[in-house]
Amino acid sequence: MPSIVKILRVVADPNRLRILLLLRGEELSVAELQEILVMGQSTISTHLSQLKQAGLVEDRRTGKSNLYRLDIADVTLAGLLTQAREEIPEAASDQAAMRRVLKKRKDKMRSFFDSVAGRLGKDYVPGKSWKSLAEALLRLLPPMVIADLGAGEGTFALLLVQRAKKVIAVDTSAKMIEVAREQALRHGVENVEYRLGDMEEVPIDDASVDLVFFSQSLHHALHPARAIDEAFRILSPGGRIVILDLVRHRFEEARELYADEWLGFSEAELETMLEKTGFTNVQTSVVHKEPETPQFQTLLAVGDKAS
């Protein structure tokens, strides 16, 4: 652990405390911190550099910028931050400003999907392959009530309804939901319900579905672990989660081309998230590799909610 004297010297500055309080709950970029705190880029960068040197903050590269997060395991320091939140007058307004910034980040992703609604299935989408879908469908045990989270235009939901009692398809894009409902109407499908909502705050009751499916949608979540927690909440005891997503890759252009928040996941990452949430019998495997550059690979993960 870094010197406690050095740490105390660094956190003595109220503005650095404001940054720590913000990074306590979210990963933020320098630009986002600028907007929240109304400070210059060089000032923010200097504060972050000092916090990093003290071992209080860490960062990860994402596209053209870095995202910073709090790196504190010490209970005493965590307690100091809790007290600081009560004493720093700007703390409440900082949190409100951060919520607005995160909403902008989500709105940017939603805007992308609104713009491609009605033609997404006709365009290329990384990881969407018939082989990977077939691998997942083999693991279904109908009849079930199924939640399709991040359902997009509902193409996969229309496959699931053929053997399911009911499919509840959830997506954050109103345009996608509109297109999906029109498709269901054209096909005369009645056992599918489309709901507008975020996969991190799913508009589905506790313990009300038998299967939760993420089909190439988890990498669009700001907080994938929270989406998995929501899946656990809505699953009935004995229910199952199935995730199809991209294996971690380095194709940075995906962030702009497909509004990807995460560049896929490793098997270990998904397994850890699932087990930490409480899923048992977790299994992961790479089920497909695309021949064309950048050769996206599809990762399948499944887990059970104990009865």
Q: pLDDT tens across 167-186, in order?
A: 999 999 999 999 999 999 99
Res. 75: pLDDT tops 60: no
Q: What is the pLDDT of residue 85?
A: 82
Q: Tell how strand 57-62 and strand 65-70 pair up.
A: antiparallel
For the cut 80, the answer to whether the pLDDT of residue 237 exceeds it is yes
Q: What is the DSSP string of 205-261?
A: -TT-EEEEEEES-GGG-SSHHHHHHHHHHHEEEEEEEEEEEEBP---TTHHHHS--S
Say if CB 140 and CB 211 are below 8 A apart: yes
Share of the chain above pLDDT 90, in %: 64
Q: What is the reported pLDDT for 110?
A: 86
pLDDT of residue 107: 87
Residue 112 is predicted with a pLDDT of: 82
pLDDT tens readout for residues 251-291:
999 999 999 999 999 999 999 999 999 999 999 999 999 98
Rounded to two decimals, the pTM is 0.70
Distance CA 157, CA 213 (A): 10
> Looking at residues 80-101, what average pLDDT do you find?
88
Q: All domains of the chain, ordered by start, with CATH?
A: 4-116 (1.10.10.10), 123-304 (3.40.50.150)
The model's pLDDT over 128-177, given as tens digits with 9 standing for 90+, comes to: 776 677 667 646 667 899 999 999 998 889 888 887 899 999 999 999 99
Amino acid identity, position 181: R
